[in-house]
Chains A and B, each alone.
Chain A
Amino acid sequence: MSRGPHAWLLALVLAAAAAGFGEARAEPPAAGLDAHGQLQNPALQARFERIAKELRCLQCQNESIADSNADLARDLRRQVREMLVAGKSDDAIFSFMTDRYGEFVRFAPPLSPKTALIWGAPFFMLLLGAAVIYRVVRQRSRMPLDD
């Protein structure tokens, strides 16, 4: 009884994985790529891995395009590799993405007036907490020690 759903799930996962591999193989080897689809230049490959981890897969939203198996993530990885091979800078690649998908495509958006709240909130909360503790401690230290 309980084995049924699990077997189905396993079959589904395997099928999805197989489909994923099939697609990866169908991807034609682009210029500057080795047989495993990695960039031949190790420095470029290192940059590729860092950039791909920095970009959100918008189809799944909580994965980076480095981790995601989604079709769009695969296409965006291709885009990043091609731009690296073409000698584009990291900034150029990030602005290519944000021009099309918006700031949300980046996991760590750059500091700007719009994002100041996100970046500033933790520090603000820390200061607020410090102020509260300061006040409470000062008030208590003025109280008579009667307990």
Chain B
Amino acid sequence: MWKFLLPFAAFVALIVLFAFGLNPKRDIHALPSPLIGKPAPEFALSDVIDPSAVVSNAALKGQVYVVNVWGTWCAECRVEHEELLAISQQHVVPIIGIDWSVDHGPGEREKAKQWLERLGNPYTQVAFDQQGRTAIDFGVYAAPETFLVDGQGNVIFKHISGMTQEVWEKEFLPRIAAAGKGGA
């Protein structure tokens, strides 16, 4: 009896393991964020467009908002840009951009400005993270990454890689509705 049952049980266990492990829909490089359910890291950075202004998420307390970490050096961000523009035109919640300068030089700010002038600006505000510290605080490792923050200031969702209309409708809109619309 055991002689047949044991290999069969092992076979079933393997099938289950493969069903999870080899699922093509599962991105093995996407890691769960430890930030989910925790307060969004605070930042106060200079504005990309107006360096004398400060972009801070403390000012957004009580609102639902989106944080999008990008950079002009990031190819996927270019692809995502059109989608973000379309999403921003729905005026659902504020979209805060964080321009992540990986070389820590001031050049990224100029490039970002040109990018937004040329391609359109989907952001309510764009912060300039010249030292990459805010990106580290958000645990960003593969731009673009997009976070959803609720009215209590907690991160409730993170999307890695480019935003699409589909992700926006499936993952963001229901959570925004559940969190209570923060106004845009």
Q: Footprint of B on A, CB under 8 Å?
A: 23, 26-27, 58-59, 61, 71-72, 75-76, 79, 98-104
B23 → A minimal CB distance (Å): 19
Q: Mark B98-128, 1 if CB is under 8 A from A, else 0.
A: 0000111100000000000000000000000
Find chain B residues with CB under 8 A from A27 CB: 104
Task: State which of B102, B104, B141 has its C-beta within 8 Å of the C-beta of A101.
Answer: B141
A139 → B minimal CB distance (Å): 12
**Given A61-B29, A75-B132: A102 and B139 within 8 A (CB)?**
yes
Complex Cα spacing A98 to B142, Å: 16
Q: Judging by beta carbons under 8 Å apart, are B34 and A99 in contact?
A: yes
Q: Judging by beta carbons under 8 Å apart, are A59 and B141 in contact?
A: yes
Q: Judging by beta carbons under 8 Å apart, are B142 and A101 in contact?
A: no
A30 → B minimal CB distance (Å): 11
Q: Judging by beta carbons under 8 Å apart, are B104 and A26 in contact?
A: yes
Complex Cα spacing A139 to B80, Å: 65
Considering only CB atoms, which chain A residue lies closest to B35 in the complex? A100
Considering only CB atoms, which chain A residue lies closest to B137 in the complex? A100
Interface size class of B (residues with CB under 8 A): 10 to 19
Find chain A residues with CB under 8 A from B152 CB: none
* 7 A–B contacts from the bound complex (CB under 8 Å): A26-B104, A75-B102, A75-B131, A79-B136, A100-B136, A100-B138, A101-B31
Number of A-B contacts (CB under 8 A): 44
Q: Judging by beta carbons under 8 Å apart, are B32 and A102 in contact?
A: yes
Interface residue SS majority, chain B: loop
A138 → B minimal CB distance (Å): 15
Q: Judging by beta carbons under 8 Å apart, are A58 and B104 in contact?
A: no
Task: State which of A26, A75, A102, A104 has its C-beta within 8 Å of the C-beta of B105.
Answer: A26
Find chain A residues with CB under 8 A from B33 CB: 102
Q: Judging by beta carbons under 8 Å apart, are A102 and B34 in contact?
A: yes
Q: Judging by beta carbons under 8 Å apart, are A101 and B34 in contact?
A: yes
Find chain B residues with CB under 8 A from A75 CB: 102, 131-132, 135-136
Q: Mark B132-155, 1 if CB is under 8 A from A, else 0.
A: 100111110110000000000000
Find chain A residues with CB under 8 A from B103 CB: 23, 26, 71
Q: Mark B25-49, 1 if CB is under 8 A from A, else 0.
A: 0000101111100000000000000
**Given A71-B102, A100-B139, A101-B141: A58 and B34 within 8 A (CB)?**
no
A82 → B minimal CB distance (Å): 10
Given contacts A71-B103, A76-B136, A99-B34, 8 further A-B contacts (CB under 8 A): A58-B142, A59-B141, A71-B132, A72-B102, A75-B136, A100-B139, A101-B31, A102-B32
Task: State which of B31, B35, B105 has its C-beta within 8 Å of the C-beta of A58.
Answer: B31
